[in-house]
Amino acid sequence: MNKTLIAVITAAAATLSFGVHAETSADATSDKAQAKADYKSDKAQAKADYKTGKADCKATSSGGVAHACKKDAKAQQKLDDADAKLQYKSDKADINAGK
């Protein structure tokens, strides 16, 4: 009787353990998908901001001022892209550390 009880408890614990592992794995996959979606969204926002800034430069200035304004808009896009990539890498590292 005692051996049977131990076997049943061990089987129940193993079953719960596998369930928790599957849930954790699914959460990690979901979190990775969310992080990737956030990264793509941030990059798209940076590109949209660049296009808006470039159009504003073209509409409000000309010559050398417009050229400098466009360069500033491009530099801001590169900065925003780098920030998005850094955030994505940080999120992935946090997800992988939580496994």
More confident residue, 22 or 32: 32
Tokens (6 digits) for 68: 């400098």
Do you know the residue count of the chain?
Answer: 99
Nearest to 69 by CA among 82, 56, 86, 83: 56
Tokens (6 digits) for 6: 């131990």
pLDDT in tens, 50-84: 999 999 998 988 888 989 999 999 999 999 999 99
**What CA–CA distances, in Å, run from 88 to 14, 25, 28, 44, 97?**
35, 19, 14, 14, 14
**3-state secondary structure at position 62:** coil
Whether residue 32 has pLDDT greater than 70: yes
